[in-house]
Amino acid sequence: MSYLLFSLIAYVLGSIPFALIVGKIGYKTDIREHGSGNLGGTNTFRVLGVKAGLIVTIADILKGTLATSLPFLVGVTEVNPLIIGVFAVIGHMYPIFAKFKGGKAVATSGGVILGVSPILFLIMIISFFIMLFLTKYVSLSSMVTGIVAIIVSIIQQDIGLIIVTSVLTVFVFYRHRANIKRIIDKTEPKIKWM
């Protein structure tokens, strides 16, 4: 019963479409009608600017962290927080509050990892920005960061982290399948600020 309840709450938390909320309230803009149409931080940066992009990215990270921390916050020890976090990511990708069309799982996945392993999260952030500096592709940097997370989890010999980072990385790759094609075709947009 605990897993069901926590998973449901995590899914609802993950479903909060911060890109849509920030766009409509702060900018009178439905971000789904602009850029890639994606409800995530990258499209928010591209369409609404740095301030909005930062707000959305941080909020998307924190909803993953909050969902993962729920069992700790209420003193439940028999529930694996990583499993609960996965449902927040599912909510982010398929939000009930936005017709099940959400983001690409990157920030919220990072938030899940932050909730259980801040050191791994820091390694992921460093990896992301190194790849971004080298390639200028946000999508490719996100996918490589997922692979780095799996490798670090294997080195740490943490079975739970290995499984969950693998699942989350599969989510990230699946949600970026159109980006993968554009990278191969050399039509994927590159960032210009780094």
**Alpha carbon separation from 110 to 4, 64, 95, 113 (Å, rounded):** 23, 7, 18, 5
Question: Among 1-10, 113-122, 169-178, which stretch is predicted with the lowest mean pLDDT?
Answer: 1-10
Query: Mean pLDDT score of the chain, rounded to an integer?
Result: 95
Q: For the residues 94-101, what does the mean pLDDT come to?
A: 95
Q: For the residues 38-63, what does the mean pLDDT come to?
A: 95
CA-wise closest residue to 112 among 79, 152, 63 = 63
* Cβ atoms of residues 141 and 131 within 8 Å: yes
* pLDDT for position 158: 93
Q: Is the pLDDT of residue 181 over 70?
A: yes
pTM of the predicted structure, to 2 decimals: 0.94
Tokens linked to 54: 């930062």
C-alpha 15, offset from chain centre: 12
Cα 45 from Cα 56, distance rounded (Å)? 9
- Percentage of residues in the chain having pLDDT higher than 70: 99
Cα 47 from Cα 7, distance rounded (Å)? 32
Domain residue ranges in the chain: 2-185
pLDDT tens column, 130-148 = 999 999 999 999 999 999 9
Cα 30 from Cα 191, distance rounded (Å)? 22
* pLDDT for position 150: 98
* Cβ atoms of residues 14 and 95 within 8 Å: yes
Q: For the residues 187-191, what does the mean pLDDT come to?
A: 92
Q: For the residues 90-101, what does the mean pLDDT come to?
A: 96
Q: Is the pLDDT of residue 122 over 80?
A: yes
* Cβ atoms of residues 147 and 165 within 8 Å: no
Cα 53 from Cα 130, distance rounded (Å)? 20
Cα 186 from Cα 73, distance rounded (Å)? 46
Q: Is the pLDDT of residue 1 over 70?
A: no
- Percentage of residues in the chain having pLDDT higher than 90: 93
